[in-house]
Amino acid sequence: MNRAPSPSSSIASHSPTARARRCLRAMLLGAAALLLMAFALDRLFPLRLPAPDTGSTVVLSRDGTPLRAFADSDGVWRYPITAQQVSPLYLKALLTYEDRWFYRHPGINPYALARGVAGAMRYGHMVSGGSTLTMQVARVIAPIPHTFAGKLVQIFRALQLEAHLSKAQILDLYLNHAPFGGPIQGVEAASWAYLGKPASQLSHAEAALLAVLPQSPSLLRPDRHAEAARRARDKVLQRMRDENIWSAADIRDAEVEPVVARSLRSPLDAALLAERLHEQQPQARRIVTTIDANLQRALEDRVGEYLSRLPPRTSAAVLVVDNATLEARVYVGAAEFADPQRLGHVDMVRAPRSPGSTLKPFLYGLALDDGLITSQSLLVDAPQDFGGYRPGNFDETFNGPVSVAEALQRSLNVPAVDVLDRVGPNRFVARLANGGIDLGLPDGARPNLSIILGGAATRLENLVGAYTAFANGGVAAAPRYTPQQPLQQRRLLSPGAAWIIRDIMANNPADVEGAPLDGTVDSHAAVAWKTGTSYGYRDAWAIGVTDDWTFGVWIGRPDGTPSPGQYGAVTALPLMFNVAGMLPVTHSHSHRAQPANVRSVDICWPLGGAATSTPASLCRQRRTAWTLDAALPPTFAERDLTAWTGGLLSLRVDQLGRRLSATCHGKHEHQIVLARWPALATPWLRVDDAAASALPPLMPGCPTDSLDVANPIRIAGLSNGATLRQAPNSRQPLHITLRALGTTGEVQWLLDGRLQGSSLGNAGMLIALPLSGEHQITALSRNGAYAHMTVTVEKPQA
């Protein structure tokens, strides 16, 4: 039997409490269903975020300035950044204009969406998008069509972002992926591309501009549509005024600031170093270098301007290293990056080239350490034969007796080869390798005497690293290009040898454009420098050292073809002094004090001993020398001479001063001592020095001795002191044929110290005399015998 419900139960089921419970239950069930649906959709359509390391690679200077950006596989430039690295002005403008409720909403703003829909229904098109910053990120990280269905997808993705990421992570995604026109993504890349500055240093006007630019990046690009960009920027400024975010004064100043943007381009400073580091670290997205961005740009401009005056296809390289840290501050690998005519893609900082004479300071430093020389030891710059190798000087002249300091400062070749022959090429090459200079030799070649004149290959970075030894007590090191690169130091010379060689190079006069005659840039920074030129004018070098810096310049053609007339002192040295003048004097690394084992001692030529222990009659020239470890080596012994021998010579003479041979005796005979100059130096001696060193004549009747083997020679074909006159209207040099009499061996012929050629025995030698003036002709045999004559060429009378 059915019972009718009681009135009380009916009333209970329809009570407000019951209805509330049913409503709550329905809401919970609905929420659960929505959560289950959201979870299912999240699993079915997972959120795909950009991988943390995707994007372009940016190579930065030491202060964070981008040097070069490498686009990603899609051609996009993006510089990774976080909100903490962006100007607070930009963040305020962005959030105020785009999404004031960013930190409060769950990814969507219902009010903004409703407003956008109402506007679309009223005007027939969208006048207010209603998108939150999170929704914009959803569209930025994945393509979503601009349709009603696309808007639903965008809302779903925004909710997913909020569920999986923090607000800070969502904001960072926007900062790195928002579109700014062309291939530019992210505010940091846009700030550098359009404004040439980091996003941390934006003005009010610049912050407003970059905040609005992603709304329509193609139509608002400031490099193409400056007026449209200004109007959009001013809308942001007006919003900031209305919301009382920025002061009225800041707004007024910002509104009068013009919209000026650079042509859109990726930064391209130290481009070849950036490429080098990118190749070494292909997975890195931010590579911080040791480069000083401002100095780099200034020197790139200076190099470009300087190269414009040189022959076509000429390139240049410059490397500047901080002596205190061995960090490179400037790296110019080519005169103009990617210039096809100058082969601007070739990095000449690390290209192997002939070093010319730039290795000579290390040779003389090693000879000092070996106790072979002092800074003023007597060397001979004259035609010499080293086992078939006959070097000449760059200007083809010879200078006779010179000091070590003069030989290094004037970069004379014969004295350097002489010293290398005594040090040993194998040992010299091994010492250079220990100091970081690995010389490249031709296939199958062994170290030889030509190395000191450029007969091998090395790199600018190796030379600059080795030259830091002259500022760091003889310790060389490889230049460092990133702060993480380990310091690799190697002993190259002793502190004393390094100090002496630097002193010699620092006192080398530099009469070139941009350099004072005393070789200093200013009163604080004395430059020790050396130049070099490779065979055939292929490479011009100049390396300089100050207390703070070591810097090197290479100029030439990357393809190795000659550049006639372009050599170190004329081409590279002026640019090197320009570089030196642009470097700050920091005094962060002061020149070391004179080492205790370096002493100043007066020595005597030709013997080389201390002046205090040399009789005045044997001290023909007095020189003040730097000595190392109190070593006072004598002048080098001569090679392959069978008669005349330099050094101390003791003789018996009679009362008239005539020489007595071994079995010969004379009245009142006694001993005399001569200080003999090296035989090959005698043609250049002063008259009094030559007379003091000359052998006394043999007393008649005495048998000849070995000292007479070097018979004198004389020049036939022209009288000493002769005057020659050109034929009327002739502009050609006079040609004369001379012969050397009194020898059967080889004779070297010099005109005004310049080698003209050689003859054998009394064979004729054709010499071309210049048009006018007085000229010295010298015939010099290999055993030291020589003959001089002076001739004068007059212009024809009118």
Catalytic residue numbers, as ranges: 98, 357
Q: Which of 661, 440, 466, 435 is nearest to 545 (CA)?
A: 466
602, 607, 608, 613 alpha-carbon torsion, rounded to 10°: -50
How many helices and strands in the chain, by DSSP H and E? 21, 25
> Cα–Cα distance between 634 and 603 in angstroms, integer?
10
> Cα–Cα distance between 250 and 205 in angstroms, integer?
9
Q: How far from 309 is each of 248, 303, 569, 751, CA to CA, in Å? A: 53, 10, 16, 35
Residue by residue, DSSP assigns 680-711 as GGGGGS-HHHHHHHSPPPBPTTPPP-GGGSS-
Q: What is the CA radius of gyration of the chain?
A: 41
> Cα–Cα distance between 210 and 93 in angstroms, integer?
9
> Cα–Cα distance between 197 and 175 in angstroms, integer?
16
Half-sphere exposure of 80 (CA within 13 A, CB side): 19
3-state secondary structure of 778: strand
User: Is the CB of residue 243 less than 8 Å from the CB of residue 96?
Assistant: yes
41 phi/psi in degrees, rounded to 5: -65, -40
> Cα–Cα distance between 45 and 154 in angstroms, integer?
13
User: Is the CB of residue 158 less than 8 Å from the CB of residue 140?
Assistant: no
- DSSP alpha helix (H) spans, 245-344: 248-256, 271-280, 293-307
User: Is the CB of residue 316 less than 8 Å from the CB of residue 334?
Assistant: yes
Amino acid at 358: T
209 contacts: CB under 8 Å, gap ≥ 6: 222, 229, 232, 233, 236, 259
Helix pair angle (167-177, 148-164), 10° resolution: 130
Half-sphere exposure of 778 (CA within 13 A, CB side): 26
Helix pair angle (204-212, 88-98), 10° resolution: 40
Residue by residue, DSSP assigns 508-534 as ----STTS-TTSBSSSS-BPEEEEEE-
> Cα–Cα distance between 711 and 743 in angstroms, integer?
8
How do beta strands 647-653 and 659-660 pair?
Answer: antiparallel
Retrieve residue 288's tokens: 């911080």
Q: How far from 137 is each of 144, 170, 406, 586, 605, CA to CA, in Å? A: 11, 7, 71, 47, 84
Q: Which of 531, 508, 545, 509 is nearest to 405 (CA)?
A: 508
Q: Which of 291, 297, 671 is nearest to 479 (CA)?
A: 291
Q: Which of 483, 504, 26 is nearest to 291 (CA)?
A: 483
What's 327's DSSP letter? Answer: B
> Cα–Cα distance between 509 and 526 in angstroms, integer?
11
